Chain A
Amino acid sequence: MLAKIIMIIYYLLCLFFVFITIRNLFQEENSRDRVILYLLTLVPFILRLLRFK
């Protein structure tokens, strides 16, 4: 039961990080490096949210 709760919290955390990273991506005006960094950061979270891996 505890593991299930932790799993749910983890998915919520993933969702939160995806949300703030995409928000930062939209707000980024100057640095191309940061755009790439945000996109790279998104990959594992998206893979988990979509239950690909």
Chain B
Amino acid sequence: MEQTTKASQNFKIISSIIFLLFVLWGGWPLLQHRNYKMEIVCGPGVTEVKKLSDSFPPLKDTPADTYVFILQGKEPGGKALIMANTHANEPEGLLAVSVMLENAVVEKGTLYLIPNFNRSASRNTRPGEGYPLYFSVTTPWGKKIFRLGNRDASPLDQWPDPDVYIHYPEKQMLSYLDIRNTNRTWPGRRNGLPMEKVTFAAMELLRHNQVDLAIDLHGAETMFPVTNCIVAPEKSMRIATLASLTVKSMEGFENHLESSPEKFRGLSHREIGDYSATLPFLLEAPIPFLDQPTGPKTEKLLLDGKDDFLLSLARKNKLFVPYDEHGWPFDKRVGQHLSVSLEIIRQYSRKNPERGLVIKNVPRYREVVEKGVGTFFHNPAEAPVERIIKF
């Protein structure tokens, strides 16, 4: 009897230790990922570093607060906001904005850059789909590592979800999950849940600073029709059309137009335009990593966009973008975002000279594709400490 009890005790102790090791083995990398800091070396154009909570103080000291970089030109002019990582599993926007942050010089007007709009989502992941926790970009000085996030904010930061998410103020019923999706919570709510506060803070930033243009950078599946495009509402369509035609004729890549649906609420390209004087645009670059019928979700797939299953589907005309054995590499996606953003700003400036912006030193599509996006990042080890921002 005594022996049985002792054996039972031993079994309990050993299995408890094994389980604890499993918890740490699986959980510790997630904790590290959540607390990993990405680095940006502020370029010569960055004149001020603020936070979103400066536009809406209740966000201060919360996991949802995020950096806003301001690049102010010497000459007064118009204002533009470019934001990335609204969906933190679509990181071409993050890289495009990072390239701007490290290189852009604004001569006229003011540029606001938010590289990590949904900070909580960037600290989240999707283990069920085997997402890599990080990805790296090759630079002349080594590898630059970025956190790969998820589409929605982490339940650690915003929970519980409602059974049905009722959008404010339009009262449209949306999926419960979209309450943590910062491209469904526009125009936000002053006393809402954290992600509603994030979009409300961004609206405050746009309204108080009288920002002329807002560009939201995304990525979309190759099997999804709204990909490789500019999504714009009626008021932004003229500028979007000019930008789309210009990049096609001058830079040789397709970026078609999609009209922002009036009856689908909560999206940046709809609500920013409806609830402020700002002209909104949403850019989608094709990201094969997000497609469902692919091989494993590896860092390689994220970077080069090459997948045999997608290639097979492309041969059957099932994709909405041209796709061959070269895949859809990161450099191409980042280059498109940079060129289209710059072109939207340029076209707006041509039509509204007194509210124009002049931005220099930002590479465009061809240069990024030729040299690789990593070429445009600076080595934090060689940069002055006060110019490095970790987020």
Q: Do A and B interact?
A: yes
- Inter-chain contact B27/A52, CB cutoff 8 Å: yes
- Inter-chain contact B23/A46, CB cutoff 8 Å: yes
Which of A's residues lie within 8 Å of B, judged by CB?
3, 6-7, 10, 25-26, 28-30, 32, 35-36, 39-40, 42-43, 46-47, 50-53
B11 at the interface (CB under 8 A from A): yes
- Inter-chain contact A53/B27, CB cutoff 8 Å: yes
Interface SS of chain A = helix
Interchain CA distance A43-B22 in the complex, whole Å:
9
Which of these, A10, A29, A35, A40, contacts B5 with CB under 8 Å? A29
- Inter-chain contact A3/B158, CB cutoff 8 Å: yes
Report 16 cross-chain contacts, Cβ distance below 8 Å, ordered by A residue. Answer: A3-B160, A3-B193, A7-B160, A25-B16, A26-B12, A29-B5, A29-B8, A32-B8, A35-B15, A39-B15, A43-B22, A46-B23, A47-B26, A51-B31, A51-B34, A52-B26
CB distance from B118 to the nearest CB of A (A): 17
Q: A28-B12, A47-B23 are in contact. List 7 more A-B contacts (CB 8 A).
A: A29-B5, A43-B23, A47-B27, A51-B34, A51-B156, A52-B26, A53-B127
Q: Determine the chain B residues whose CB is within 8 A of the CB of A32 once the complex forms.
A: 8, 11
Interchain CA distance A32-B23 in the complex, whole Å:
20
B264 at the interface (CB under 8 A from A): no
B141 at the interface (CB under 8 A from A): no
B28 at the interface (CB under 8 A from A): yes
Q: With contacts A6-B160, A39-B16, A42-B19 known, is A52 near B8, CB below 8 A? A: no
The proximity string for B residues 32-69 relative to A, scoring 1 for CB distances below 8 Å and 0 otherwise, is: 00100000000000000000000000000000000000
B159 at the interface (CB under 8 A from A): yes
Q: Determine the chain B residues whose CB is within 8 A of the CB of A25 once the complex forms.
A: 12, 16
B388 at the interface (CB under 8 A from A): no
B290 at the interface (CB under 8 A from A): no
Q: Determine the chain B residues whose CB is within 8 A of the CB of A53 once the complex forms.
A: 27, 30, 127, 156
Q: With contacts A3-B158, A30-B8, A51-B156 known, is A36 near B27, CB below 8 A? A: no
